[in-house]
Amino acid sequence: MLRRIIFFLLIALFSASGFYAGLLILDKSLFSLPAGLPQLKFGIMALSTLVGLVLGLVLTSPIIRGALRLTSFLEQRLSRTPTQDLVMGSVGLIIGLIIANLLGSILFVLGPLGRLIWILGTLLLGYLGMSVAVKKREELLGLFSNFPRFGKEKVSRAENRQSNYKLLDTSVIIDGRIADLVESGFIEGTLLVPAFVLEELRHIADSPDVLKRNRGRRGLDILNQMRKNSPVKVQIIDNVRGLDDVAEVDSKLVKLAQRLGAKIMTNDFNLNKVAELHGVKVLNINELANAIKPVVLPGEEMTVQVVRDGKEAGQGVGYLDDGTMIVVDGGKKYMGQTISVLVTSVLQTAAGRMIFARPRQEQRQEAQNVRYNGVNALG
């Protein structure tokens, strides 16, 4: 219905334009009319109106189709653009047009050349204002936040809101423990997944290597599960302008975290160090896992199953439920058995924690031998 109304309005506009063109032709006396035939004026006006009507019938449909395509294209582009960019771009465009309008009063003195320069300057200043405002939006917002009328309370709120942003690395998505942490309620704020991280996951999922392909698909499944069932908001960031020249994903992640004032969640040791050098806060899942492991002190007794032999002669190796390795001195002969051990020392490394122990039975035997030898000595 609306399209039909627009169609008839455009035809009426073309017809009116043809009628006005006929009047203009008669008013300017572009060609002379015979003195005895004043009726030709009405014929010229009717002919010009008919020409406008025909042009309207021919051109209205293509104009409507083109306008609909342009509107759809602009709608798609604007829907993908962040709201912050739209607001800052509009402000920059308005400022550029105001400056161009102020210059226009001076350039109009130069005549047609000044008008041409003013038109070109208006286009240039409008584009520059919009482009600069979008690219420098973080600096502009920081400048506005320093004004007294915004108040310290509003600044602190903005900082707290930014600090709740957490960027997810590819490794932490594939690892999968982040989903359990989110479900437990220990993770708050908004989880951000940059477009380049999502693209890396897709490449891994399409890898010819079976192991990599399974890891990539697992990461995509976990990400979809988090977006559907997670109690916190999981958002995909498509706006990564200015990072196209950076080749490595880790460098892009660090620069994006600096831009947004966000933290990085990862279990990549190298990314952890690089981010710390750039002053970016990192939440390492491995460090969290090591921190919540139960504390074990030398002299404590525990039960462990020896599953394989160690590097040194006679050693056996077992594991706790959380994956902590226990090296049992003299435990090779207890291979496949579950025995009681006494902790002798605990070694904490960047990769995790290792517990060294000895079988409790051997220590009892040593204690009995010491008492036995002592009795012989006294005797």
Residues β-bridged to residue 317:
308, 327
Burial class (CB in 10 A: 0-12, 13-18, 19+), 332: middle
State whether the Cα torsion 30-35-37-42 is positive or negative.
positive
The sheet that has 263-266: what strands, in order across it? 233-237, 190-194, 165-168, 263-266, 282-284
Domain 165-291 shares a fold with domain 296-359: no
Alpha-carbon 68 to chain mean position: 31
- Cα separation, 35 vs 51, in Å, equals 25
Q: Does domain 296-359 have CATH number 2.40.50.140?
A: yes
Alpha-carbon 50 to chain mean position: 57
- Cα separation, 127 vs 350, in Å, equals 51
Choose which CATH entry (3.50.50.60, 3.40.50.1010, 3.30.70.270, 3.40.630.30) describes domain 165-291.
Answer: 3.40.50.1010
Extents of the domains making up the chain:
1-80, 83-146, 165-291, 296-359
The secondary structure of 1-12 as a DSSP string is: -HHHHHHHHHHH
Please give the pLDDT value at position 22.
Answer: 78
Please give the pLDDT value at position 288.
Answer: 82
Cα–Cα distances in angstroms (integers) from residue 212 to residues 105, 169, 220, 236, 243, in the given order:
65, 16, 12, 23, 26
Please give the pLDDT value at position 316.
Answer: 92
Kindly give the confidence (pLDDT) of every residue in the chain, 379 residues in length, as a single tens digit, with 9 standing for 90 and above: 777 888 888 888 888 888 888 777 777 666 565 655 566 777 777 888 888 888 888 888 888 888 888 888 877 777 767 777 778 888 888 988 888 888 887 877 777 788 888 888 888 888 888 888 877 776 666 666 555 544 444 444 444 444 578 888 888 888 888 888 888 888 888 888 888 888 888 889 888 888 888 888 988 888 888 888 878 888 888 776 667 667 788 888 888 888 888 888 888 888 888 888 888 888 888 878 777 777 788 888 888 899 988 888 888 999 887 778 899 998 888 888 889 999 998 887 656 678 899 998 765 555 555 554 545 444 4
- Cα separation, 325 vs 343, in Å, equals 12
Residue 292 has φ and ψ, to the nearest 5°, of -95, 0
Q: pTM for this structure?
A: 0.46
Please give the pLDDT value at position 75.
Answer: 78
Tell me the residue length of the chain: 379
